[in-house]
Amino acid sequence: MSPELKMYDEKMQKTIESVKADFATVRAGRANAGVLDRITVEYYGTPTPLNQVAAIATPDPRTLTIQPWDASLVKAISKAIQTSDLGINPQNDGRIIRLAFPQLTEERRKELTKLVRKYGEGGKVALRNIRRDAMDDIKKKTKKSELTEDDQKILEKELQELTDKRSKEIDELTAKKEQELMAV
């Protein structure tokens, strides 16, 4: 890969990591601490990510336990989970919060599959935006005579191949997540 495209490849890889993080927040009927990554709790007046104020464990495939390091946070954490889009009601005994993940209904699986496709498509749009920025950059360099027209064609071809490769990665991740969601 040419050095001119290295920066754009790194941006594309970050986009794929972002899509993976989005997919981790979609619960697939099994307990996964990743679904709590976007939940924040007021801690001394500051919104703090849940995983920074509590220990999160998976005692069995359908349960998550959240044990706050500061016992006064139990109510705040329960409230944050209830107001989130998780769709799970937390149970607490005053010290530990338990989240029981029910089996997903067919309808909910289809909703989540649509959400996964939306995240995947968002990632592909981001890739296309990166490609467009790179193309603009290549054209500017050609105009300034920093690149020859032959070099421009070679770089554009390389860039398209890179974009196709990264786009295929997102398609594979999307298909894998959909399969995980639809598995009973």
Report the CATH number that the domain containing residue 114 is assigned in CATH. Answer: 1.10.132.20
**Averaged confidence pLDDT in the chain:** 86
What is the tally of structural domains in the chain? 2
Which CA distances in Å does 63 have to 20, 40, 44, 138, 183?
Answer: 22, 20, 28, 51, 18
* Mean pLDDT value across residues 120-129: 94
134 shares a domain with 87: no
Confidence band of 129 (pLDDT split at 50, 70, 90): very high
Residue where one domain finishes, among candidates 100, 119, 153: 100
For residue 153, pLDDT over 70 is answered with yes
Q: How far are the Cα atoms of 11, 110, 128 from residue 133, in angstroms, in the given order? A: 11, 35, 9
Under the phi-then-psi rule, with left for phi > 0, alpha for psi from -120 to 50, and beta for the rest, what region is 64? beta
Q: What confidence category does residue 131 fall into, taking pLDDT thresholds of 50, 70 and 90?
A: very high
pLDDT of residue 22: 85
Higher pLDDT, 94 or 28: 94
On whether both 38 and 90 belong to a single domain, the answer is yes
> Given this model, what pLDDT does residue 179 score?
86
Range of the domain at 17: 3-24+105-182
pLDDT in the model for residue 158: 93
Can you give the pLDDT at residue 130? Answer: 94
- State yes or no: pLDDT of 62 exceeds 70: yes
Question: At 100, is the pLDDT very low, low, confident or very high (cuts 50, 70, 90)?
Answer: confident
Last residue of one domain, picked from the residues 100, 133, 153? 100
Cα distance between residue 78 and residue 93, in whole Å: 11
Q: Which pLDDT belongs to residue 161?
A: 93
Indicate if 138 and 173 belong to the same structural domain.
Answer: yes
Whether residue 17 sits in one domain with residue 76: no
Final residue in a domain of this structure, among 100, 116, 141: 100
- pTM for this entry: 0.70
